[in-house]
Structure 1
Amino acid sequence: MTRLRYDGGGDWYANPSSLDNLLEQIRLRTGIPVADRPAEVGAADPDLADHPYLYATGHGNMSFTALEVERLRAYLYGGGFLHVDDNYGLDESFRREIARLFPDTPLAEVPLEHSIYRIFYEMPDGLPKIHEHDGNPAQGFGIFLDGRLAVYYSFESDLGDGWEDEGVHGDAPEVRESALRMGVNLFLYALSATPAR
């Protein structure tokens, strides 16, 4: 699991304890030997393809250079997985940038029947609502490439808040649990949908 660095002024490093906690729960719940800490990578880094699961979050502006757009597109067509978690404030810039990557493939709501909602934990209602900002429902959007969900966008959910250390946001235990369950599903889906390298 790798945190994606990006330019534009947004805080790509937001929710600093979130991925550490999620990795620990993946290890405990699935027995999969994962790293203790997430890696970090930029979209133009030469080792981008070595990271099967990219995670991006933040509150502000996200922007990619032309080279980063080209490399990210190749990474995703090559079997990589990108999860973008809107931490409230990322939506406009993410939608702009993903349209640069895939101008002919718009974001589409991921159907509740998709395996990402049941690969390990049953999530019959789909993406859980973790942090309330404006009362809108959580929605999971995606980009499908050749039938494979390559980009998952958790919108109006704030999954990363639910993965953070318990006292950071004061979320109820059942809310944090739903965030962790969705995180485990995302990770396992990314592994199952990524071709062996």
Structure 2
Amino acid sequence: MKVRLIILFSLLVLLTSSFRTPAYQLARLKYNGGGDWYGNRTALINLVAFCNQQLHTNFAPDEAIAEVGSPDLFNYPFIYMTGHGNVVFNAQEAQNLRRYLTGGGFLHIDDNYGLDKYVRVQMKKVFPELSFVELPVNHPVYSQKFKFGNGLPKIHEHDGKRAQGFALIWEGRVVCYYSYESDLGNGWEDFGTYPEDTAEKRNNALKMGANLISYVLTH
């Protein structure tokens, strides 16, 4: 199934909350290099539940696993990537990910602390002509159902840096959103997993995640 068709179908799902059969799944990106692509194990499942409740989406309750070089990637309109460590895309994987993103797919990279120095290099293999740009606080991604007047919320503290939301923009479309120094995935995990992340922070993380989903499904 073509990614563009999936996204068009997802718009119908947003508008028809009575449609009960799950339309599709969200997926987690499995990559090579030794980094913990499987980190934040309960994050995506909790985000799905939040979106089904708050946005009236109709996602399957469990996540899928999509390998970066696999054609299965094209079955999912939204791919989540996280981790702390090394990431390596070979030439075929980089080409496959590029085809997915330029064909209508969307990648959310969530730095779980330590991912930055690896993922920037690897995404250059995917889009040599593009660089990450910080989205302004008035970008539509921050004003979907939930409003974030100051941009990406800070969820989990590591080293005192401000949270930043970067994007790769291809032909005017955001194809990749990169949340840096925020750690949204920590906030999406089961409450209490990180005692320092308050209920308010967790709620903000889920709302920001829902904004990303909403943005993808309506743009």
TM-score band, normalised by shorter chain? over 0.9
CA distance in 1, matches of 2:156, 2:29: 22
Match of 1:74 among 90, 95, 99: 99
**Higher deviation after alignment, 151-160 or 113-122:** 113-122
Task: Determine the structure 2 residue equivalent to 1:159.
Answer: 184
Measured after TM superposition, the shift of residue 78 of structure 1 is 0.7
Q: How does 1:35-184 map to 2 (within 5 A)?
A: 35-170=60-195, 171-184=197-210
Task: Determine the structure 2 residue equivalent to 1:28.
Answer: 53
Taking structure 1 as the reference length, what is the TM-score of the superposition?
0.96
Taking structure 2 as the reference length, what is the TM-score of the superposition?
0.86
Task: Determine the structure 1 residue equivalent to 2:31.
Answer: 6
Measured after TM superposition, the shift of residue 132 of structure 1 is 0.4
Structure 2 gaps, min length 5: 1-25
Identity score, percent: 48
Task: Determine the structure 2 residue equivalent to 1:186.
Answer: 212
Structure 1 gaps, min length 5: none
* Counterpart secondary structure, 1:3: strand
Q: Counterpart amino acid of 2:194?
A: H
Measured after TM superposition, the shift of residue 191 of structure 1 is 1.5
* Count of residues paired in the alignment: 193
Query: CA RMSD of the aligned region, Å?
Result: 0.8
Task: Determine the structure 1 residue equivalent to 2:16.
Answer: none
CA distance in 1, matches of 2:153, 2:45: 20
Q: Counterpart amino acid of 1:103?
A: P
> Which runs of structure 1 show a deviation greater than 3 angstroms over 4 or more consecutive aligned residues?
none
Q: Counterpart amino acid of 1:12?
A: W
Q: Counterpart amino acid of 1:53?
A: F
Measured after TM superposition, the shift of residue 47 of structure 1 is 2.1
* Counterpart secondary structure, 1:99: helix
**Higher deviation after alignment, 96-105 or 10-19:** 96-105
CA distance in 1, matches of 2:207, 2:145: 8
